[in-house]
């Protein structure tokens, strides 16, 4: 029987987690959003408020819809608030030991049938999964930045992810209005494995002073028709996150 994901959680409300919480709340789900401390929680909440205010300004949401969307998200700093979640997506910084520690805690807090997902871009989902007692219910769910806009979700199965977990997460991604691709657990998956060779090459062209930042970005925008240049994209992803990937 297909699982229904009604109560969902997000851990880490930075660039990605705030966007993922917004995607979930836009779909009418009740969301619990967890940050490390009160200051980070305020930043995460502001991220959601600002992003949805921009959607109101562009006529994509009404003011009332925005208020309802934000009200569907419960913000907190205690992972125990995730006890009733059917699915939790972790989006904390790209450090294996931090992610493993969070998965181990989630394993003790969440219902045994809950699915635990990571938004990691480059770490081994398998190594994260084995920090729990339910590796069959751990999966990669890799959203792209900005999550409310970008269509693709890479679903990463490890050799022990249960088939019905993969099937249900694929159906869930489609319900969110995303397009899913399911792949095996390999560093960078599809998009980043291809993208980061290019981004690194752009950084090394700049490092060797071959061209200015503006010219490198102009070459790819105007010469290749991309929506932004590689150095602007590195900034959008975040240099710290890009470095870890």
121 is catalytic: yes
Do 44 and 17 contact (CB within 8 A), yes or no?
A: yes
* Residue among 51, 119, 121, 242 flagged as catalytic: 121
* Alpha-carbon span 65 to 143, nearest angstrom: 23
* Residue among 51, 119, 124, 192 flagged as catalytic: 192
* Residue among 22, 90, 124, 142 flagged as catalytic: 142
Q: How many helices (H) and strands (E) does the chain have?
A: 10, 8
Chain position carrying tokens 């930075």: 14
Q: Nearest-CA neighbor of 42 among 19, 71, 13, 8?
A: 13
CA distances from 182 to 28, 125, 229, 232 (A): 25, 13, 28, 28
142 is catalytic: yes
For residue 21, the minimal CB distance to ligand NAD (Å) is 11
Q: Report the residue number, 41 or 211, with the smaller CB distance to ligand NAD.
A: 41
For residue 36, the minimal CB distance to ligand NAD (Å) is 4
- Torsional class of 209: left (φ above 0), alpha (ψ -120 to 50), beta (otherwise): left
Angle, vertex CA 120, rays to CA 117 and CA 123, nearest 5: 115
* Alpha-carbon span 64 to 28, nearest angstrom: 14
Helices marked H in the chain — which ranges? 15-26, 38-57, 63-71, 96-109, 125-129, 163-175, 191-207, 213-224, 230-237, 239-244
CB contact set of 98 (below 8 Å; sequence gap of 6+): 92
30 is catalytic: no
Residues that bind ligand NAD (CB under 6 A): 11-17, 34-36, 40, 91-94, 102, 119-121, 142-145, 237-238, 241, 245
Q: Which residues are catalytic?
A: 121, 142, 154, 192
């Amino acid at each position: 029987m297909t699982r229904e994901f009604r109560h969902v959680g997000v851990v880490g409300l930075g660039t990605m987690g705030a966007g993922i919480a917004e995607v979930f709340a836009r779909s009418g789900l009740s969301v619990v959003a967890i940050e490390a401390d009160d200051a980070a929680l305020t930043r995460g909440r502001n991220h959601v408020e600002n992003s949805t205010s921009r959607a109101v300004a562009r006529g994509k949401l009404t003011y009332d819809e925005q208020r309802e969307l934000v009200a569907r998200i419960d913000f907190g700093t205690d992972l125990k608030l995730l006890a009733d979640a059917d699915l939790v997506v972790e989006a904390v910084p790209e450090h294996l030991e931090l992610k493993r520690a969070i998965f181990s805690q989630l394993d003790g807090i969440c219902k045994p049938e809950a699915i635990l997902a990571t938004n990691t871009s480059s770490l081994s989902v398998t190594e994260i999964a084995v920090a729990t007692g339910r590796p069959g219910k751990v999966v990669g769910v890799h959203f792209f930045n900005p999550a409310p806009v970008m269509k693709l979700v890479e679903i990463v199965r490890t050799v022990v992810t249960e088939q019905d977990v993969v099937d249900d997460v694929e159906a869930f991604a489609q319900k969110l209005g995303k397009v899913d691709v399911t792949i095996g657990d390999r560093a960078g998956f599809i998009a980043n494995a291809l993208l980061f060779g290019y981004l690194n090459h752009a950084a090394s062209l700049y490092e060797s002073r071959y061209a200015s930042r503006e010219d490198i970005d102009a070459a790819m925008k105007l010469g290749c028709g991309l929506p932004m240049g590689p150095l602007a994209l590195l900034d959008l992803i975040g240099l710290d996150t890009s470095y870890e990937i």
